[in-house]
Amino acid sequence: MVPDVSPALLAKYDVPGPRYTSYPAVPDWRGAFDHEAWAGHLGVLGTTDAPLALYVHLPFCASRCLYCGCNATVTTRAEIVDRYLTRLYTELDMLRAAIGERPRVCEMHWGGGTPNFLSDAQVEQLFQRLQDTFGIDARTECSVEADPRLVTREQLRTFRQLGFSRISYGVQDVDEHVQEAIGRIQPATMVRDMVELAREEGFAGLNLDLIYGLPRQTPESFANTIETALSFSPDRVACFGYAHVPWMKAHQKRIDEDTLPRAWDRFALFRDSVRRFTDSGYRWIGIDHFARPEDSLALAADAGRLHRNFMGYTTRSGENLLGIGVSSISEIDGWFAQNAGELGPWQREIDAQRLPITRGHVMSDDDRARGAAVAHLMCNGELPFDLFPGDIEPLVDTYEQFAADGLVIFESDRLAVTPLGRFFLRNLAFPLDAYRGATDGPRRFSRAV
Ligand code: SF4
């Protein structure tokens, strides 16, 4: 049973805040090291048994979707991709030199942009270079994001032959009026065909990405999108809230703001999505993911083994994450680093034989304690008292206010998030965030609900 939320309660908690894919959130990083220090730190990967995940960013797309919040470059020229890949291989060489060993990779994800914008030959060559650098074998879980508009059977076959077992399709919304407003025409029948093709080619895990809060969405149109997605029986669904940040993403200015759902309508879209997915037997995972009960993400959630990093929710805790390519983010043994976000600066650093990071953060003991508490809350919907960082008394006072609103319940050894509180998980993490308020501006983060 999905609880009701009053407009007054929504208005109270509809404030900007981080999504906590890291703690501290990226805008709060203090960035106190350079590429040489980063290279030195990467040596830890050659000596640790902690699992390693790779994220490879492939930024190219055939056209621009107006809602896009990703780091994406629109091009029609294959040689631009070749030039990017050549530099990516140089980055791999530098990483290998810094790490010293050939660490085994438990998980690898290709994201973008549009990874399936690459030709089959480019995909095969990139995979080979990654294999030369890292220990990637049959035990590595490989996943790829794909644009259904570009998928071919041959392409899916190439990915499967290389060992990719999970695929994630960007669907967003199947309504033609919404698709027109966001500049992404992709009929539901096309998505259905591509889902069937992926299954025929043997992908074991199928994820669909949806977005609520897009222009021209109505309760009826988005209900139809959810029901259409359900008819494809995906293993997982991510249902993200659209982040309208035209001051950061200029192409979003082409979206007519008058056609965006207002706060209450937008929230109602998500609440209805939760109801439809959970009524259909899906587990609600974390903030905005849904998974079939037998899917590994749901099993990890049931067992309290869910983990959150820059790739979203994952099934492995305690792993290091190494990002490769423009704008990618790494989290290695308490250090965060992000590569240059624009192609030009990223290329210049690579050409100068420097690891192309532009900012980073070294976690303090306080960051680690608070980060563990935030992650536990975001993954498990509870906060054991022994994870409370620092002085517990002021925090208890704060959470009593949440309890009065029905978002949490005090138990003997923990704070338990109520079904109502599930809608406000990010808000419940705010009191744990020592950086919140220090440099907050209204435009640093997207809205929390
Ligand atoms: S395909 Fe994805 S990454 Fe590319 S422009 Fe559209 S939303 Fe952005």
Domain CATH number, residue 175: 3.80.30.20
Same domain, 274 and 394: no
Q: Are residues 36 and 13 in the same domain?
A: no
Closest listed residue to residue 209, CA positions, set 197, 190, 183, 191: 191
The token pair at 153 is 């059977």
Indicate the residue type of 234.
P
183 and 201 together in one domain? yes
Write the residue with the smallest CA distance to atom 3 of ligand 1.
113
341 and 208 in a common domain: yes
* CB 239 within 8 Å of CB 288: yes
Same domain, 284 and 311: yes
Residue with CA nearest ligand 1 atom 7: 68
Interval 21-41 mean pLDDT = 93
The atom of ligand 1 lying closest to the CA of 63 is 5
Ligand 1: residue of 71, 75, 114 to mutate (most ligand atoms within 8 A of CB) is 114
Residue 417's domain is classified under what CATH number? 1.10.10.920
Q: Rounded to the nearest 5 degrees, what angle is found at the Cα of 86, between the Cα atoms of 346 and 169?
A: 80
Pick the atom of ligand 1 nearest to 61's CA.
4
For residue 187, give both structure tokens. Answer: 């009929």
- Domain count for the chain: 2
Q: If you measure from the C-alpha of residue 317 to the centroid of ligand 1, how many angstroms do you get, rounded to a whole number?
A: 29
Q: Give the ligand 1 atom nearest the CA of 64.
A: 5
Beta bridge partners of 357: 339
Q: Are 219 and 368 within one domain?
A: no
Question: Which among 126, 124, 118 has a CA at the least distance from the CA of 145?
Answer: 118
Strands 357-362 and 52-58: unpaired
Residue range(s) defining the domain that contains residue 372? 1-24+364-449
Same domain assignment for residues 433 and 406: yes
Residue owning the nearest CA to atom 6 of ligand 1: 65
Q: How confident is the model over 56-84, as pLDDT tens digits? A: 999 999 999 999 999 899 998 989 999 99
Beta bridge partners of 283: 291
Q: Which residues line ligand 1 (CB under 6 A)?
A: 61, 64-65, 68, 70, 72, 112-114, 147, 170
- Does residue 78 sit in the same domain as residue 123? yes
Domain boundary residue among 344, 362, 380? 362
Lowest mean pLDDT among 26-40, 209-223, 303-317, 357-371: 303-317
Residue with the larger pLDDT of the pair 102 and 438: 102
Give the residue, out of 147, 182, 249, 251, with the most ligand 1 atoms within 8 A of its beta carbon, to mutate for a pocket test. Answer: 147
pTM of the model: 0.95
Instruction: Check if the beta carbon of residue 426 is closer than 8 Å to that of residue 287.
Output: yes
The residue from 362, 393, 424 where one domain ends is 362
Q: Based on the number of CB atoms within 10 Å of its own CB, is 386 exposed (0-12), middle (13-18) or buried (19 or more)?
A: exposed
Asked if 336 and 434 sit in the same domain, the reply is no
The alpha carbon of residue 48 and the mean position of all alpha carbons in its chain are separated, in whole angstroms, by: 25
Ligand 1: centre distance to CA 132 (Å):
29
| Atom 8 of ligand 1, nearest CA residue | 68
When the pLDDT of each residue in the chain is averaged and rounded to a whole number, the result is: 94
Mark whether 5 and 70 lie in a shared domain.
no
Residues in the chain: 449
Domain boundary among 332, 362, 392: 362
The values of phi and psi at residue 114, to 5°, are -135, 95
323 in Cβ contact with 330 (< 8 Å)? yes
Per-residue pLDDT band at 220 (split at 50, 70, 90): very high
| Residue from 61, 182, 186 to probe ligand 1 pocket by mutation (most atoms less than 8 Å from CB) | 61
Closest CA relative to residue 144, chosen from 125, 163, 119, 130: 163
Beta strand extents in 147-295 (DSSP E only): 164-172, 205-212, 236-241, 283-285, 289-291
Of 181-190, 198-207, 439-448, where does mean pLDDT reach its minimum? 439-448
pLDDT of residue 317: 64
- Check if the beta carbon of residue 111 is closer than 8 Å to that of residue 55: yes
Q: Are residues 251 and 348 in the same domain?
A: yes
Quote the percentage of the chain above a pLDDT of 90: 87
Say whether both 58 and 152 belong to one domain. yes
SS3 366: helix
